Amino acid sequence: MLSHIKLAIERLDLLSKTKPLRVVSHYDTDGITSAAIFSRALERWGKRFTLHIVKGLENDYIRQLPDSEVLIFLDLASGSLDVLGEKKTEVFIFDHHEIVQTIPANVALINPHCFGHEMMSGAGVCYLFAKALSPDNKDLASLAVIGMVGDSFEKDLGKVYDEILRDAETLVKKGLLLYPSTRPLDKALEYSSNPYIPGVTGSYKGAIELLREANIPREDGRFKALYELTDEEMGSLITAILLRSPSDKRTTDIIGNLYLVKFFNKLEDAREFSALINACSRMDSPHVSLGFCLGNRKCKEEAERIYISYKQHLVSALKYVDDSSEKISGRNYTIINARNNIKDTIIGTVASIISHSPVYSEGTIIVALAYNQDKIKVSARIVGSEGRNVRDVLHRAVVSLGGEVGGHQNAAGCLISREQETIFINELQKVLELDPIKVGPVI
How confident is residue 21, by pLDDT bands cut at 50, 70 and 90?
very high
Strands (E), 168-306: 171-176, 255-263, 266-269
- Which of 319, 334, 354 terminates a domain? The answer is 319
HSE, side-chain direction, 13 A CA sphere, residue 87: 28
Residue 250 has pLDDT above 70, yes or no: no
268 & 344 share domain? no
216-233 pLDDT, tens digit each: 999 988 999 999 999 999
Is residue 267, in this structure, part of any structural domain at all?
yes
Is residue 439, in this structure, part of any structural domain at all?
no
How confident is residue 8, by pLDDT bands cut at 50, 70 and 90?
very high
189 & 149 share domain? no
Is residue 441, in this structure, part of any structural domain at all?
no
Is residue 165, in this structure, part of any structural domain at all?
no
Is residue 209, in this structure, part of any structural domain at all?
yes
7 & 126 share domain? yes
Question: What is the rounded CA–CA span in Å between residue 53 and residue 26?
Answer: 6
Is residue 295, in this structure, part of any structural domain at all?
yes
302 & 183 share domain? yes
178 & 315 share domain? yes
315 & 352 share domain? no
80 & 151 share domain? yes
Is residue 88, in this structure, part of any structural domain at all?
yes
How confident is residue 442, by pLDDT bands cut at 50, 70 and 90?
very low
CB of 383 within 8 A of CB of 360?
yes
- Which of 319, 350, 375 terminates a domain? The answer is 319
CATH classification at residue 70: 3.90.1640.30
Strands (E), 111-159: none
150 & 20 share domain? yes
347 & 263 share domain? no
Is residue 63, in this structure, part of any structural domain at all?
yes
At 251 the pLDDT is 59
> Which residues make Cβ contacts (< 8 Å) with residue 301, sequence separation at least 6?
none
At 145 the pLDDT is 96
329 & 281 share domain? no
Strand pairing report for 333-337 and 365-372: parallel
91 & 107 share domain? yes
49 & 65 share domain? yes
- Which of 159, 183, 218 terminates a domain? The answer is 159
Question: What is the rounded CA–CA span in Å between residue 336 and residue 29?
Answer: 24
Give the structural domain span for 50. Answer: 2-159
Domain count, the chain: 3
